[in-house]
Amino acid sequence: MSEVLEVVQAGWILGIETSCDDTAVAVLHDGEIVSSVVRSQTALHAPFGGVVPELAARSHDGEIADVIDEALVTAGRALDSFDAIAVTNGPGLPGSLMVGVATAQGLALASGVALIAVDHMEGHLFAAALEAPVELPAVVLLVSGGHTQIIRVNAPGRYELLGETIDDAAGEAFDKVARLLDLGYPGGPAIERCAVSGDPMSIPFPRGLLHDGLDFSFSGLKTSVRTYLGAHHDAGVGDVAASFQEAVVDVLVRKLERAIDVDVRSIVVGGGVAANASLRQRVSTLGRTKGLAAVLPALGLCTDNAAMIAAAGGFHLAKGEPGLRACDILPGRRLVL
């Protein structure tokens, strides 16, 4: 029988996630989400059109105790009854990561509960596993504000990097183009809403590196949108948004398809951009066409949350990894090199 990547029954896990601009804490019991609190800083950063690292760190610092309380009270659970505290220690913004890690270390020390340091991108993968067990080998498209990668999961915890962006991340492209179109922040949901009124085939924006391996490039696409807007002052915003979204989704899905070989049993998507309806639809269709399971995280678990961090932490705990007393932040942490 083939192996499966799944959320394991690892007792009570507290997850803490502060790598970017969401202060998130969750309680997981034997793989089931008991509570999951996400306090978003969107309103704080919106006037700047993107995340301001210093403001993000300060806001995490001000909110984290309250968010932990809310998650614990909702779960009706005291800290010292947990089996592990799982915290994101990278990749992410240094000041933001520091708040989560310092808090988790303090809680672990005070309660005697094991501390587990989780990779944020592995968390995004486990958001899909929270939806359904993933039959392996799987090819996984991880698309967030900071990362765009295709990885292959050969066995639980064994990852292989197949391709990644050489410049902007897919979510970053959404955010930058939304700014060009004055659609606000975060750009992904704003573009998706605006695209509904446009024709995705109206403007043939470029598909970076389409015929070239499994790496991605999105900076040329962003430049192309800017050039188009400069030359077409009467451009319909809906058409631009829809055509841009189509260009991103098209290249993501075609590369994902190329990564599938005869051994592959499932395809998985994770990260904030996995919330995009057009991407979800195309990936589901790809799964059906190839006869493979397409595992997509629940909508609320695509963007940053702590349930996915607790799930990844539970996986490491169940594997027998020892609890840490302390852990460093690793802003440039890479799941696979």
Kindly determine how many residues on this chain lie close enough to bind ligand KG4 according to the rule CB under 6 A: 20
Q: Would you count residue 297 as binding ligand KG4 (CB under 6 A)?
A: no
| 100 vs 186, beta carbon nearer ligand KG4 | 186
Kindly determine how many residues on this chain lie close enough to bind Zn ion according to the rule CB under 5 A: 2
Q: What is the DSSP string of 27-47?
A: EEETTEEEEEEEEE-HHHHGG
Query: Of the candidates 304, 305, 313, 315, which one interacts with Zn ion according to CB under 5 A?
Result: 304
| 107 vs 303, beta carbon nearer ligand KG4 | 303
Are 270 and 297 spatial neighbours (Cβ–Cβ below 8 Å)? Answer: yes
How far apart, in whole angstroms, are the C-alpha atoms of residue 300 and residue 279?
Answer: 15
Tokens encoding 63: 């909110």
| Shortest CB 271 distance to Zn ion, Å | 6
Q: In what order do the strands lie in the sheet with 84-90?
A: 32-40, 22-29, 12-17, 84-90, 114-119
Binding marks (x or -) toward ligand KG4, 302..321, rule CB under 6 A? Answer: -xx-----------------
Residue with tokens 């573009």: 191
Nearest Cα neighbor of 256 from 272, 245, 248, 267 is 267
Give the list of residues 6+ apart from residue 73 with CB closer than 8 angstroms, or none: none
| 144 vs 224, beta carbon nearer Zn ion | 144
| 107 vs 249, beta carbon nearer ligand KG4 | 249
Query: Of the candidates 259, 275, 317, 329, which one interacts with ligand KG4 according to CB under 6 A?
Result: 275
- Taking residue 65's Cβ as centre, other Cβ atoms within 10 Å add up to 11
| 4 vs 52, beta carbon nearer ligand KG4 | 52
Q: Would you count residue 187 as binding ligand KG4 (CB under 6 A)?
A: yes
Region 75-114 residues binding ligand KG4, contact defined as CB under 6 A:
none
Binding positions for ligand KG4, rule: CB under 6 A: 20, 144-146, 171-172, 174-175, 186-189, 192, 271-273, 275-276, 303-304
